[in-house]
Amino acid sequence: MVKKNYERIMEEIEKACERAGRKPEEVKLLAATKTRTPDEIREAYEAGVRLFGENRVQEAREKIPQLKDLEDAEWHMIGHLQTNKVKYAVGLFSCIETLDRKELVDELLKRMERKGVKKMDVLVEIKLSPEESKHGCPPENVEGLLTYTFQFPQLNVLGFMTVPPYLEDPEEVRPFFRELRRIRDKMEGIFSRKFPELSMGMSHDFTVAIEEGATIVRIGTALFGPRKY
């Protein structure tokens, strides 16, 4: 089941890349594994997935150690990260996709030093919709957060991530993806450096995200089926 889904998604990624004149190697599928069991995650690994994302540190602390034998699996934190959970996140994840405030930078540096972790990848999560439930750095604060973070070479800023509102019609989500890319391009101009990664697009809108430049698409239900809570 997961393998069939994986193959179908990879085909859709290829087709979206073709439409956009992009190379399929530029796009990574990240399996969003919240609520999924270690066995389901193994199934995705066997199908070919190497990049995984968890939303909650507590859940990740229970599951990731059970999957340590998947040596080339990479784990990203894709949910809102509370400051008091950073001490557990360091060591579990290679990348925090949800860096959204200076306080998190400070806490990451402190915990990395204590654990002897020399380098971590981060993406800055940008809040592009007003809903209370959405997290991220407001667009007007992104330049300041980047300036602050660049003081610390231990944090490798690879790009940006966003969680747009859920809208039935993926075409209605397109402006949010376009906006994330616009901010990325603007920051590349301001800082004269590249931000190669754009993490955007989920099960129902990832092909549109790819057309707008996504390099990481975060997919849950299309890969594993509906979530049971």
Ligand X SMILES: *Cc1c(COP(=O)(O)O)cnc(C)c1O
Per CB under 6 A, residues contacting ligand X are 32, 34, 55, 78-79, 163, 202-203, 218-222
- Cβ neighbourhood burial of 194 (10 Å; 0-12, 13-18, 19+): exposed
Choose between 73 and 109: whose C-beta lies nearer to ligand X: 73
- 177 close to 213: Cβ distance less than 8 angstroms: yes
Nearest Cα to Cα of residue 129 among 161, 81, 168, 165: 165
Least distance to ligand X from the beta carbon of 219, Å?
5
Nearest Cα to Cα of residue 170 among 132, 212, 136: 212
Least distance to ligand X from the beta carbon of 80, Å?
9
The contacts of residue 11 (CB under 8 Å, 6+ apart) are: none
Choose between 109 and 128: whose C-beta lies nearer to ligand X: 128
- Tell me the residue nearest to ligand X as measured from the CB: 220
Q: Annotate 185-208 with DSSP letters as a single string.
A: HHHHHHHTS---EEE---TTTHHH
Least distance to ligand X from the beta carbon of 218, Å?
4
Least distance to ligand X from the beta carbon of 116, Å?
29
Choose between 108 and 136: whose C-beta lies nearer to ligand X: 136
Least distance to ligand X from the beta carbon of 144, Å?
24
Choose between 21 and 130: whose C-beta lies nearer to ligand X: 130
Least distance to ligand X from the beta carbon of 178, Å?
18
> What b/e readout covers 131-148, taking b as 16+ CB neighbours within 10 angstroms?
eeeebbbeeebbeebbee
Choose between 149 and 162: whose C-beta lies nearer to ligand X: 162
Choose between 45 and 136: whose C-beta lies nearer to ligand X: 136
The contacts of residue 172 (CB under 8 Å, 6+ apart) are: none
Nearest Cα to Cα of residue 194 among 125, 126, 146: 146
Q: How far apart are CA 59 and CA 41, in angstroms?
A: 13
- DSSP designation for 121: E
